[in-house]
A and B are shown apart, each in its own frame.
Chain A
């Protein structure tokens, strides 16, 4: 099949049985690959009510038809599972070089099933596939172990692995790769950990069949040329995602002290230019990237190095914790990476705990004697370690995620646990940014930003406006942007260099031999979006409208400081946003796809 490795690998960890099957052409036609494959296999193969931490859950790792090809940023790999953090659909994207190497082994998906009786790692060298003993690796940090594995097998092998966070069952453990890239969100690393898979080590040397080699060469080169010629390439490369830090501070979107405000008085010291000057050593890109956004940094004070921090980590580990020092933020990033926990959820959990401490809900008796106040970087470092180790008490509690932690602690702390559907909100404060708020409320995995980044649209239209155009924009972004994760390429060239997305169409056609316009692709995006919604409903009794509600902080507590001081979205507007969203999606007033919508999207077979 043109554009595909051609096989799906199944690894039954319980029995140790390893099998391969051809990639089903119908699934490739209807779901294309990557995130589409993940959603399809999850819904079809993981039985209803499966325990996310039990043997019935699966970890589905998929590349797409653009992965590993001569296309800008063609290094995106999807990890899908039933989330141990939310109980719903989880899909996390990993950059780097893993997915290209995986494609060259001839694999489109690796599906990990069951639970291994002992720690193992999966070793793949083209057609050689083995489960090997990982007992001696258990407990090791991801950066330490990746270096060891590269040293043992060679630099051409690519490694995806978990740290102590995943081994110990932190609900938001990450899967790490390339010394600083993560599939971070929703607990994909937790599932890998419970399956006792410490690492996947792979190398591939096979070629990928292409329908029209000359057309592919031309279309690929055209894409690279527009990236190279783009105005703004130099700045994007210089600062990466940290371009937005100062801007978020300026417009009141920078999460500050557990999202109690959107501007941070110490913000200037964590802005992109400060970071570039103070700690960045070099730029670092993923496979086939013409605009490397990764930054490799050295923290003089700690004599340590890290890839990052990128904007989300700066927001969640910096301003959200009241920390205004870029070296401290980078050091927190390093600890999370080595221990294998998501920086966004970890930052949110510690921010919530700091607020609890400052309000007297938690005391030093609960915090292991730590002065867990905003701005205390050393206390934050200690808590990262305690979370990853699941240390009895607060560390273990925070490792369950803010939703469950707040439910257990109570005393009003539920109101400032910043999440949707149990996933901690990423780094955009949404007190007065109604499109972005809706994007978080309705995101398919919980409060994550990357499906529909609509905050600039808020500023263009009027941030407090609650109008159908905003809702339509969020829906369009949700259908369109995740398609990059389906195709297996990075969206950031489109996002930041504003290259014409139509240039991808001939490239995809030349590779796969199938013509798909963006209209066709958006329909598939809509299909996957609706399928993931059905999955939430299937797995959670009573799933509906109330699950889409944001933290009350965004409709009850206007910030007291910063540029959004006194500004808030009204509760009736939150409800109006949902009404319009459901109507435009073709969903019921409870937020479930109607029969007509499912038929239109050829999803009737998935309806209950």
Chain B
């Protein structure tokens, strides 16, 4: 029972530079971010299966989650 997290850009540094990581489904995205050590505050946009979702979204089996951060800024 897992979901895939794909951090964009500089957020990859939180998962050792990998493109994606598997996490357990059945928890909120915020909880998963906590386990991965990604500060949820720096995530600007969450896209789950191509739909925008809030950070308290409950992860489902097979979800693909894209995380967009604003590390560099405007």
Residues of A in contact with B (beta carbons under 8 Å apart): 230-232, 235-236, 239, 241, 243-244, 246-247, 250-251, 273, 311-312, 449-450, 453-456, 459-460, 491-492, 494-498
Contact = CB atoms under 8 A, between A and B. Distances in A.
B10 A498 contact: yes
Given A230-B8, A232-B9, A495 B74 contact: yes
21 contacts: A230-B9, A231-B6, A232-B9, A235-B8, A235-B66, A236-B68, A243-B45, A244-B70, A244-B74, A250-B41, A273-B52, A312-B74, A449-B73, A453-B72, A453-B74, A456-B69, A456-B73, A494-B72, A498-B8, A498-B9, A498-B10
Contacts of B9: 230-232, 496-498
Given A246-B44, A460-B42, A498-B8, A450 B70 contact: no
Contacts of A311: 74
Contacts of A246: 44-45
Interface size on B, as a range, is 20 to 34
Given A243-B44, A243-B45, A247-B44, A498 B71 contact: yes
B70 A243 contact: yes
A343 to B, nearest CB: 13
B47 interface: yes
Contacts of A312: 74
B66 A231 contact: yes
Contacts of A231: 6-9, 12, 19, 66
Given A241-B74, A495-B73, A498-B8, 17 more contacts: A231-B7, A235-B68, A243-B45, A243-B68, A243-B70, A244-B70, A246-B45, A247-B43, A251-B41, A453-B74, A455-B73, A456-B70, A456-B73, A459-B39, A459-B41, A498-B10, A498-B71
B47 A235 contact: yes
Contacts of A496: 9, 70, 72
A497 B71 CA distance: 10
Interface in B21-62: 39, 41-45, 47, 52
A491 B72 CA distance: 9
A477 B74 CA distance: 12
A232 B44 contact: no
B6 to A, nearest CB: 6
A449 B74 contact: yes
Nearest to A272: B45
A456 B71 contact: yes
A459 B19 CA distance: 23
A230 B11 CA distance: 12
Contacts of B66: 231-232, 235
Contact of A232 (B42, B68, B73, B74): B68
Contacts of A492: 72
- The 5 nearest A-B residue pairs measured at CB: A453-B73, A498-B9, A495-B72, A232-B8, A247-B44
Contacts of B68: 232, 235-236, 243
A492 B66 CA distance: 20
A453 B44 CA distance: 15
Nearest to B9: A498
A150 to B, nearest CB: 29
A449 B69 CA distance: 17
Nearest to A463: B41
A495 B44 CA distance: 14
A493 B72 CA distance: 10
B29 to A, nearest CB: 14
Contacts of B10: 498
Contacts of A495: 71-74
A459 B40 CA distance: 10
Contact of A459 (B8, B12, B42): B42
A446 B31 CA distance: 40
Given A231-B7, A231-B9, A239 B45 contact: yes
Contacts of A273: 52
A250 B40 CA distance: 11
Contacts of A239: 45
A163 B8 CA distance: 40
The residue in A230, A243, A449 that gathers the most chain B C-beta atoms within 10 A of its C-beta is A243
B36 to A, nearest CB: 14
Contacts of B70: 243-244, 247, 456, 496
The residue in B7, B39, B45 that gathers the most chain A C-beta atoms within 10 A of its C-beta is B45
The residue in A236, A312, A495 that gathers the most chain B C-beta atoms within 10 A of its C-beta is A495
Contacts of A230: 8-9
A244 B69 CA distance: 9
A243 B74 CA distance: 10
Contacts of A251: 41
A246 B44 CA distance: 7
